[in-house]
Structures are given as structure tokens and as C-alpha cells.
Amino acid sequence: MAALLTTSLGAVPLVGRGKVRDLYAIDGALLLVATDRISAFDHVLGTGIPDKGKILTQISLFWFELLKPIAPNHLVTADVEEYPAVLQPYSAQLEGRSMLVKRAAMFPVECVARGYLAGSGWKEYKTAGTVCGIELPRGLQNGSRLPEAIFTPATKSQDGKHDENISFAAMEKLVGVDEAAELRQLTLNLYKRAAEHAESRGLILADTKFEFGKTAEGVILADEVLTPDSSRFWDAKAWKPGGAQPSFDKQFVRDYLEEIHWNKQAPAPSLPDEVVERTRGKYFEAFLRLTGREMAS
């Protein structure tokens, strides 16, 4: 089973390549193609995870459908047969892992919702008792549930690799007072609905980040949504505050890279087959548990 690391669509204009997605311009719209690339410690690895792009895309499509009553989204279609004729020769490459989406003016912020204390939030809390300047009760542990979900925006750093937490006041200066308030409310509403669904499937949605854009019709949900690449999902039965929680993401990859004492400088190493298979299995388990669907080919 080969991993798809790079797409090639002939004369179709390539807008850019991210860590995972390739972006193409199509007749006033955009084509998002999720490859099987995987990154860790801000580097794309030489080994991909077979089907990862399909898994991420199918999870996003599930959430776009479920969350549409709360926020409209950028999806036009994910049915390759409905794509423009210029894309039909590449249908095998695009099937199951691509979305034709609306163009939107993207807000320059990551809209993060946290229902549990983890990651950078836990690091700040340990030193200051706050997350993004929001004061939290004393005595919380790594993995603790917060009294209520909080909104903690972030921006991309200049190198484009790290998200940097900012205060809500700083976000207001970036996007305006009214739109900052709208994005905060949308984010918390989306998180609440998604967390309820995850709980019904035996999972905890610890935190997640959303990206929003604006069209002539208003604010829409864009990019990917609520995948293991943008969210922390924990097994509810295994949840135990007081340390890092096992999550449905690329933890096997990070652990391996730490074990071999990689210096986190390019070139990134390749992964052994066992790490690839275990990581693929974790992503696939997240898909099955969240959606209850069969994987589209």
C-alpha cells in the first residue's frame, strides 16, 4: 500500500503546498487535496501514512454535514464526478481525498476552543495559572476538565510553522471587535456540538482549532475540521487527569523520533513500517469511532 506524498494535476494551477494539503485553483473555486504526508516537530517526514489524506478528508466531510446548522462551510462538492472536466483525468488521484471549495478571505487567526487543560495551555497554566490570559481555578492538573470551554485564539508566526497564542484583545485589533465576537461565539458553539457528538461515541474532544473565512454571504467554516491533525481526541474510558492522555493522532511518530534522538533539523528521518502501521491504525480508529461510516474509496 503506497502513500501519496505529492499530487500532480498537469496544467491545473498549483496555488501552494502545505504540510499535508496541496491547493489548486479551479474556475473561481479551490481544490483541496489531502496527501498522505505527515509532519512532526515542524518538519514533513520522508515517509507518509497510507490513506491518511482520505481519512482526514472523510472526517472533515462528516463534520461539515453535522455542523452545517451552526455554521455554513466552504464545501462545494467532494464528488469527483461533479468536478470540472479538466480534473477528470486525475480522478484516481483525487477520489476520497479532495474537496472542491469556495474561495474566501481567510481570517488571520486560528480559533481555538479548549474544554480540557493540555498542550500549550497546560504549560502556561503551570507558570501563570492562566491560558491566553484567561484566569483558571487553582489546583487543575494536566488533562483536567475545565469548568467551561474557553476560547483561546492564536496566530501564525512569521515562519509559518508555529501557532502563537494571543489574547482576545489582540484578536480584536487584528479582525475587529464585532467579527472577533462573532468568531468566538461560533467557535464555542461548534465545539459544544462536536464535543457532545464525540462523547456519544465514547471520546473526549479536549480541544480543537477552526479556521474561518468570509464571502459575500458572510462568515463560513473553512479548511479541515475536527480531525486528529487539528484536535485532541481522547478515549473517555482511559481519561485520567494528572498527565498526558493517549490521543488519536501522530503520537507514535513523535515517540519514535524522540527515541532515536532526532535533532529536529532537516532532513527529517523516515519511519519504520511498524510506526507507519500503528499510526495509520490510530487515524482509522478515530474515523470509525467518530463517524460510524465506511471509508469512501
Span 146-169, average pLDDT: 84
Top CATH class of 106-238 equals: alpha beta
* Residues paired with residue 34 on neighbouring β-strands, in sequence order: 21
pLDDT score, position 95: 96
**pLDDT for position 157:** 62
pLDDT for the residue 170 = 94
Neighbour tally for 104: CB within 10 Å: 21
Buried b (16+ CB within 10 A) or exposed e, 22-40: bbbebeebbbbbbbbbbbb
Give residue limits of the domains in the chain. Answer: 11-103, 106-238
Q: What is the pTM of this model?
A: 0.94
The least confident of 160-169, 179-188, 197-206, 237-246 is: 160-169
8 A C-beta contact, residue 91 and residue 80: yes
Q: What does the pLDDT average to over 229-251?
A: 93
Q: In this structure, what C-alpha cell is assigned to residue 272?
A: 519504520
Q: CA angle 185-191-197, nearest 5°? A: 140
Q: State mean pLDDT over 168-191.
A: 97
Q: Please, which residues bridge with residue 218 across strands?
A: 215
208 Cα distance to chain centroid: 7
Q: How far apart are CA 16 and CA 14, in angstroms?
A: 6
| 276: helix, strand or coil | helix
H helix runs in 30-118, sequence order = 52-67, 91-94
Neighbour-count burial for 204-231, b at 16+ CB within 10 Å, e otherwise: bbbbbbbbbbeeeeebbbbbbbbbbbbb
Whether a cis peptide bond, with omega within 30° of 0, leads into 267 is: yes
Q: Is residue 100's pLDDT more than 90? A: yes
Task: Indicate the CATH number of 11-103 among 2.40.430.10, 3.30.420.40, 1.10.10.10, 3.30.200.20.
Answer: 3.30.200.20
Coil, strand, or helix at residue 146? strand
**Separation CA 71–CA 37 (nearest Å):** 29
Q: Cβ of 243: how many Cβ atoms within 10 Å?
A: 8
Q: Which amino acid, 20?
A: V
- Closest Cα partner for 111 from 203, 193, 175? 175
User: Do the beta carbons of residue 108 and residue 156 sit within 8 Å?
Assistant: yes
pLDDT digits (tens, 9 = 90+) for 247-297: 998 888 989 999 999 999 999 999 999 999 999 999 999 999 999 987 765
The alpha-carbon radius of gyration of the chain (Å, integer) is 19
Confidence of residue 164 (pLDDT cuts 50, 70, 90): confident
Collapsing DSSP to helix, strand or coil, 273 comes out as helix
- Return the pLDDT at 284: 95
Confidence of residue 161 (pLDDT cuts 50, 70, 90): low
Evaluate whether 56 touches 227 at the Cβ level (below 8 Å).
yes
| 159, pLDDT greater than 60 | no
> Is the per-residue pLDDT at 154 higher than 60?
yes
Residue 294 is classified by DSSP as P
